[in-house]
Structures are given as C-alpha cells and as structure tokens.
Structure 1
Amino acid sequence: MAREDYVIEQSTIDVKLSYLPTDLSVDCPPVVMMNNRQVSNFLSYCKKKNTVKLCVTFNGGVEDKGGEEKSDLNKKPDSPSDGDACFNADEKVLGRVVEEDKQSVIELAKSPKKRKHHHGASDGVGSSLKSFSVTKEQYFRSKDVLKATMELYAMKYNCDYKITKSYKKFWCIRCVDVVCKWSLRAEHLERSMYFKVNKFVDDHSCAPSRKNKFCRTPSTKTIGHLIMHNYEGVLEGPKPNVISNIIRTQYGHDLTYHQAWEAPEYAANEVRGIPEKSYGKIPKYLYMLEQANPGTYTNYEVDGENRFKYLFISFGQSIRGSYKPIWKVIVVDGTFLKSKYKGVW
C-alpha cells in the first residue's frame, strides 16, 4: 500500500515500517515490523491506543547507465511525500479522536530541522522510570499528561513540589523548600490541547536533609497507568497487595489503602473498558450480527429506567437447520448479573 501511495518500485527501494509505543519514552528505539505477524500485532496495538504514529522509511540505491550512483532518499526529500513520512493511524477506527494542534504536528513531521529543537510530545504515562526525563521545550498532549509526568518525576527523584499557578493557559510548580530554585513553567498552545515546557530549572539547591522522607504522593490514575500492562491479555490481574509490592520494589513508593484498591480497578477499566459503558455497545453488536448472519433473530429489552433487562439471540443457521425436522421444545438458558454489575445501565 505504501508503494502504491508513493509510486515506489519494489525492486529498487526498501520500505521499512516502524512505530514507537506510547508506553516508551522518545529516547527509546522504535519497534520495526519485519513480518506479517508483527504488522498484525501493530494493528491490535492501534485499537487500544488513542493515536499511534507509523513511520515509513524508504532506503535503496538507483542504478544509472553512466555508472553506479546510490542516493539516500532519507537525506534530501524532493517533496513532503519523500523521506520519513510519519502520520497518525486512522483515529476513527480507534473510536476516539484526539483534538490536537494539527499545524504543529504537520510541521514536526515534515521539517527535520525543526524536529531537532522539539523533544517530542509525550503521549501518556509510561510503565518505566529508567529512561524517564523532562526537558525544556518538551511538548505534552494535555495538561493531565503533564501533571502525571511530573508526579512520576517526583517518584523517580524522591522530591516534592507545590503548584503555584494552575490556569487554562499556564501551569507552574516549584520545590516545597522556599530556598530551592527548582521550578517548572508550562504554557498552553493556542487552538490545541498541547502544553509546552518553556522554563525548567532542573537543579535542586535545597539540602538533602531538608527533603521529605517520602516523595509526592502520585494520583490513583498515574499509578493505574504504571500497572496497566499487567492487565492486558489476562483474565484477572494482580491483586491489590501484589500491586503494592510492585510499586514498592520497582518505584520505591508505598501505596495507601485506597490507592491499592482503586489503582488496579482503574487499570483494568482502561484495558477492558468500563462495564457500564459496555451495555451501550449491545445494540450495535446485534445490528452487525444480523447483517453478517441473515435470518438471525435478536431481542434486546430494557426496563422503564433504561437499564438492561435481558437479551435473546437465535442465529439464522440454527433456525434453518433445526426448525423443521426437530420436535418443538422450549428451553430457556441464561445467566444473571451479580456483585457490582447488578443494576448497571
């Protein structure tokens, strides 16, 4: 498909597909797709994320009659379509459209010179603090992502800060010690959700003895992002006591009782979806089921308060194969909801 879009001959040009997972920092090497299985994994990964950037790189040499001359297509692209073409995967398929500064993203993708001065836009909270860093002129996709990132910063460097200004256009923090010069100031970009760090004093001038024994307490949402990978592809994730041990050993932070219970629930909801919202998908699922299986009968009932009551499905293949030759017997088989799922909308 990339060859058709860019009119590339397969015999002379090598096409490399790569992407950077949002759980990793911009300093990490990208994931290169080498076979169909890896492409399938990439498509599955796209369905779980708000937005994913796919990078298409063209490499190869062109033979000339006067002699062999190799040209690097990534060095001097003749048009915006040559060289490194980075673009977002179809956000409509992902179900959620991220509002962002389109012009800034296009400039970052097209101009290699400008890209050097931008330290990348953080997509979200990662699952590791080893390669974690905050720099001046760094971009963040939203104010919430910026807050979560600074909470991770406090966890990594065992420090605390206080918020001095928090407005729609500015977000400023500084060290809790009034003598310390450590501070950060981020500004909101117009017509977008992005925040840019335009001032950052990274050195702590306060004495180590003045620091608190424990760092700033991260929010439940931030902790949920850290442990979210533990709930992907499994029926049941780690229990709250196991999560407390993971955060203590890997990040050096002790969770409170409420954090140990709420963080796993948030992580599971981010991976699997919220049960209450899943009921809104049932009518769409039944419609597609009837379209894909002609003759299928479905019935979806709700009570007077628009809460789920019951669901009935009979596939067209079963109706055609068993209705005439088999003796008519009514059998009712079903299930019921229990625990926290009772009475959901």
Structure 2
Amino acid sequence: MGVGQTFDDAIVFRKVLYKYSLAHRFGYIFVRNSPKKMIVKCNIDGCKWKISAYALRKTTSILCMKKFHNEHMHSAQDNLLLKQKANSRLTSSIIIDAVRGNVEKTSNEIRQNLYKEYRLNLTYRQALREKDRALEEIHGLPQKSYMLIPWLCEKLKETDPDTVAKWVASTNYRFDRLFIAYGCCIKGFLQSAHLILFIDGSYLSGLYKGTLLAASVIDTNNDLFPLAYTIVGGETYDNWAWFLENVREITHQVQLTIVSDRHNAIVGAVHAIFDGNRHAFCYHHVKENCSSEFTKINRGK
C-alpha cells in the first residue's frame, strides 16, 4: 500500500509480497531476507522497482515499510515472458481464504481459480498439496485435532439425549482407543439384522498408522450392515477384548454367532468375552490359509 504500512512479521510480509507480484505479474529477488530487514527489487535488470521494510524495534518482529519505489522500468514484453513459479508455502496462503469459505472446494477448482486470477499453473498434485497445507493452517495439525475426540465425546454426552440418539448411541474411550457405534446401526441391528457378527481387523497404511477393528452384520436384504469400529495400535488380545466388551454392551448381551478369521488374538478375546461359544471361522479365510500352507509345503517340488 505504501510507506508506513506494517506487517506482523517477515512471514506475513513474504506472503503479501508474493500475492502482490502475482497480481501485478512481475518477478522479484531478495537483496536482504531476514526477520528484521527485508529488501526486495524487481528481477529484471535496470528496473527501479524496490521495497524495503525494517523491524520497528530490536525487541519486536513487526516490520514497517520504509521505502517503496512502485515503478517498473521495463516493457510489457518482459511481463509476457515472465513465468510465475509456484512456491508451495506461499501458494497455500493464497487459497486459504477460499478453502476457509468452502472446505469442499476440489483441487481442480483451486487450479482453475489460481490460473484465472493469477495466471499461475499448478498440477493436480500441487493443488491437492496446497489445499492440505491451507487446511492445516486453518485447523492446525491433524494429530492435534484428533486429540480433541475424547473431549468431543464428553460434550456429546452432555448434549440433549434425544438429539444425540439420532446418530450416536454409545461413545466409550480409554487412553488412545475410541469405540464408535452409531445409534441407527444399533437400532437396526437389534430390530432386523441377522444375529451373526462378522469381526475383522485391517492394517492402516496411510498417513496415520494403526489397525482398524470392525464389527459388521448382514441385514434382511443380505447387505453388509456396519455396527461398530475403532482404531487401535495393533491387533492384540487386549485391544480385541476391549472392543468385544463394548460390542457386547451395546448389543444388550443378545446371543450372537461370531464369524472371524483364525487370528489368535480374536480366538482368545471371543473365548474371554463370549465364553467361546458360537464362534465360527470364515470359510474364505480357512480356504486361503489352507491354499497358502499347501503352496509353502510343496514349493520347489
């Protein structure tokens, strides 16, 4: 805006400068780039455009613009030949307002908006990465936000029961484990689903590791009907016992036939929680395990 304008710190100054250069289509280089002193000039030789900002005091990070020569001494052809480069950290600062207003904005929409407004070309992967950066800046790191889940569950318990019952019937957590079962699923299971419970664990290979434990049933249309799930550190006896104990509580201790693979932790947990009765093994797993063992035995023969 001009001499006297202040910025909270050097990071804010860089973001504003980046947006300004995209809007006015010119490139720049840093003569001095430090938290207390920022001197920037146009990257085209002979151009007099220059800006200088200094810290107000030694004890503060606030920068104040001291000099601003806002005149470019080069031809329009120089601007046409200029190729704007996408800086990942600075680009996310451009799209953060758009993402804050519409979290569902797709990566392709972000690409189109950046090109339309700034003539800035991004690949789909770059746009996706910048959206993730913007979301982290808005909501904080995902790890920190997940730590609020137990607090959220406690607040849900304090809410009007009729409201909560529409979508949550039971929330029970212990340390890093959160058991989730939706009220509509529990009601549907007790009223119409077959009393055959399918349980299994799946390793998570994404950004957040762990194991997903899930309990599902088959409804009257022979469709898969989810009942409950949790994410734990591993497929251990303690985790399975804790999970099945919660399942038994929300199913009102009705007599269930449990179907699972032959995982030792599941066998032990089912025996401890349900006395081992009515525990069936999944035919598909038995067949695959038999085939795998047969292959190992006859390998090389």
TM norm structure 2: 0.51
The one-letter amino acid of 2:105's match is G
Say yes or no: does 1:163 pair with 2:37.
no
Q: Distance in 2 between matches of 1:262 and 1:168?
A: 27
CA deviation after TM superposition for structure 1 residue 142, in Å: 1.5
SS at match of 1:299: strand
d(CA) in 1 for partners of 2:68, 2:26: 15
- What is the number of equivalent residue pairs in this alignment? 190
Picking from 145, 148, 152, the partner of 1:281 is 148
Question: Aligned partner of 1:202: which letter?
Answer: N
C-alpha distance 280-332 of structure 1, shift in aligned 2 (>3 A): farther
Q: CA deviation at 1:334?
A: 11
Which residue pairs with 2:175 in the alignment? 301
Asked whether the equivalents of residues 298 and 312 of structure 1 are also in contact (C-alpha less than 8 Å), the reply is: yes
Which residue of 1 is the match for residue 56 of structure 2?
Answer: 189
Which residue among 178, 203, 208 is the counterpart of 1:342? 208
Relative distance call for 1:335 and 1:154 in structure 2 (3 A) is farther
* CA RMSD, Structure 1 to Structure 2 (Å): 3.8
Provide Cα deviations, 1:206-228, integer angstroms capped at 9, x if missing partner.
Answer: 23334462354242233323323
How big is the shift at 1:136? Answer: 1.3
Code of the residue aligned with 1:340 in structure 2: it is G
Aligned amino acid, residue 156 of structure 1:
A
- Give the distance between the partners of 1:171 and 1:158, measured in 2 at CA: 20
Query: 1:272: Cα distance to partner?
Result: 4.3
Structure 1 unaligned runs (5+)? 1-133, 303-309, 315-328
Task: Tell me the residue number matched to 1:217.
Answer: 85
User: What is the CA distance between 1:139 and its match in structure 2?
Assistant: 0.6
* Deviation sequence 1:128-186 (CA, Å, 0-9, x none): xxxxxx31111111211110111111111111111111123201111112311111111
- Give percent identity, aligned residues only: 21
Higher share of residues assigned strand = 2
CA 1:227/1:210 → structure 2, altered by over 3 Å: closer, same or farther?
closer
Q: How much does 1:261 deviate?
A: 2.8
TM-score, scaled relative to structure 1: 0.46
Partner of 1:172: 39
- Aligned to 2:47, what secondary structure does the other structure show? coil
* Aligned partner letter, 1:311: L
CA contact (8 A) 1:160 1:212 kept: no
Residue 16 of structure 2 aligns to which amino acid in structure 1? T
Structure 1 residue 200, shift from structure 2 partner: 0.8
Is residue 244–residue 260 contact of structure 1 (8 Å, CA) maintained in 2? yes
CA distance in 1, matches of 2:81, 2:125: 21
2:206 alignment partner, SS class: helix
Matches within 5 A, 1:109-258: 134-190=1-57, 191-211=59-79, 213-232=81-100, 236-239=104-107, 241-256=108-123, 258=125
Alpha-carbon contact 2:139-2:145 (below 8 Å) kept = no
Q: What is the deviation of 1:335?
A: 10
